[in-house]
Structure 1
Amino acid sequence: MAIPVVWIYWIFSLTVVTYVSAFIINRYREYGFAALVAFYTIYLTASQIVAARLIEFDLGFYTFFAPAAVFLYPFLSQAIDMINEVYGERKTHIAIIIAFITQVLFVIFIFMTNSLSPAPFFAYEDAWQGIFSQSIRIIIASWLSFLVFQNLDAYVFAWLKRKYPKQVFLRSASSDVISLTFDSLIFVVLAFYGVAPVVPLIIGQIVAKNLIGLLDTPWFIWYKRYLEDNPVTDRQ
């Protein structure tokens, strides 16, 4: 049975970022935080864009529909865990604030450019406006759910690391499941309550996000072991 192309892209991108992040931290620790925040921010920006595309999510025994961004949300949790593991909870919350500010700017830039008149020969104006003209309600729901689920992830991860320092899988998987579940609940209710059936949307997002979130846990374990096997050094 052929592997769906989406999983090839998913595995390749997660592998590259995990290795590059660990290498930079090991080789140039002073640049590691900046590198991880950069990856974290591009994940977040990309998820805001691809969330506009609804996809069919086929588990083999059950099919449901969800935003395409469900493939990227676990990347966010993975990146924030990678920051938390090396730089601690305080810097993790700082990374969340930085990423949030970039998303506010992103939306402002979209609104700014959408206010301009399109060229008469630009044939994709309707499609462009359809994708990038999000309602204020959805934007606010997205921002609030992001702030809650990412800060919750950071707190739970740090707490589990202090409580069970040897249990790498536990702190990564548990923080992801808890935060991604809260994200689905908060976002769907705030964005679609009263205008769409929220229960099916919540179930679809929770199942998809947590399934993919658990699948990326081995990469975090690899990241942790790489850093343990290659003690951090500061080389110029």
Structure 2
Amino acid sequence: MNDTQPAALPMSLFVFCLLYGGMTVLAGFLAVKQVQLWPTQLGVEAGIFAFLILVVLSSSIAQVHGKGLANRLVIWGFLPLAASIALIFFVLSLPADPKMWPEGLEAFQLIHATTPRIMAAGPAAYFVSLLLNIWIFDRLKGEGEATTLGLMARGAVASALSQAVDSIIFVTLAFYGEREIGNLLIGQVIAKVVLSVILVPFLITFGVRAARWLDRRGRDSAL
């Protein structure tokens, strides 16, 4: 009889993977709405908020568990996005209940019919920007354990550069031909770079500490 026990999954990976999968799907839905950057006339698609969480989660995993695991998280994290796109197409093809509220059906069809294009534009931007973020974040790592300020600086630089690239790819593929994209593209880049500098470093620091706390709790409960 083989008494070998399977290796335990670190609690941080379990929790972060759950969050990661949800954010990949939610980013596509939120992108349907473009938000005005008041007081300017620039716009930004609302999916950036979920996407920045993906940056934080993948960077935190890279810091705690290494670049290889973070890259695998990005690659396999595409699976829930692909499944949601397929499911949307399937549901849109089904006949609606004749008693369904007509305005509700029209709104559902309108929003979800445009969502697949936005969600389909996501994979190119998703893979390029998140893998680039992990690569830059890892390359900036110095010898030994990084200080908190070093961690925050690496997170800011990696996020700002990768998110600028993401904005160009995503906005062009998702909205070109549907609307004028100049203001949206400029607003998207500005918003992501600013958030990457003033918000992402603190979120990554929190994410790394949360991951280590979760792993300690997981080890203690296994004893």
Normalization by structure 1: what TM-score? 0.78
Equivalence for 1:202: 185
Q: CA deviation at 1:78?
A: 0.8
Q: CA deviation at 1:79?
A: 1.0
- SS state at 1:55 partner: strand
2:205 partner letter: I
Residues 141/227 of structure 1: CA separation in 2 closer, same or farther (3 Å cut): closer
Checking the alignment, whether the CA contact within 8 Å between 2:31 and 2:118 is kept in structure 1 is no
Q: CA deviation at 1:155?
A: 0.8
Equivalence for 1:38: 18
Equivalence for 2:37: 57
Rounded Cα–Cα distance in structure 1 between residues aligned with 2:44 and 2:156: 21
Rounded Cα–Cα distance in structure 2 between residues aligned with 1:44 and 1:231: 24
Equivalence for 1:217: 201
Residues 223/31 of structure 1: CA separation in 2 closer, same or farther (3 Å cut): closer
Rounded Cα–Cα distance in structure 2 between residues aligned with 1:227 and 1:208: 27
Residues 149/45 of structure 1: CA separation in 2 closer, same or farther (3 Å cut): same
Q: CA deviation at 1:33?
A: 0.8
Q: How does 1:2-41 map to 2 (within 5 A)?
A: 30-41=10-21
Rounded Cα–Cα distance in structure 2 between residues aligned with 1:199 and 1:91: 36
Equivalence for 1:109: 87
Q: CA deviation at 1:72?
A: 2.2
- State yes or no: 1:83 paired with 2:57: no
Equivalence for 1:17: none
Structure 2, unaligned runs of 5 or more: 1-7
Identity of aligned residues (%): 23
Q: CA deviation at 1:207?
A: 1.2
Rounded Cα–Cα distance in structure 1 between residues aligned with 2:10 and 2:29: 31
Alignment partner of 1:157 out of 137, 142, 145: 137
Structure 1, unaligned runs of 5 or more: 1-27
207-216 vs 123-132, greater mean Cα deviation: 207-216
Q: State the aligned residue count.
A: 207
- State yes or no: 1:178 paired with 2:170: no
Q: CA deviation at 1:201?
A: 1.8
Compute the RMSD of aligned alpha carbons: 2.6
Equivalence for 1:94: 72
Checking the alignment, whether the CA contact within 8 Å between 1:73 and 1:209 is kept in structure 2 is no
Rg comparison, structure with higher value: 2
Rounded Cα–Cα distance in structure 2 between residues aligned with 1:194 and 1:142: 17
Equivalence for 2:48: 70
Checking the alignment, whether the CA contact within 8 Å between 1:82 and 1:220 is kept in structure 2 is yes
1:187 partner letter: F
Q: CA deviation at 1:44?
A: 1.6
- SS state at 2:10 partner: helix
Normalization by structure 2: what TM-score? 0.82
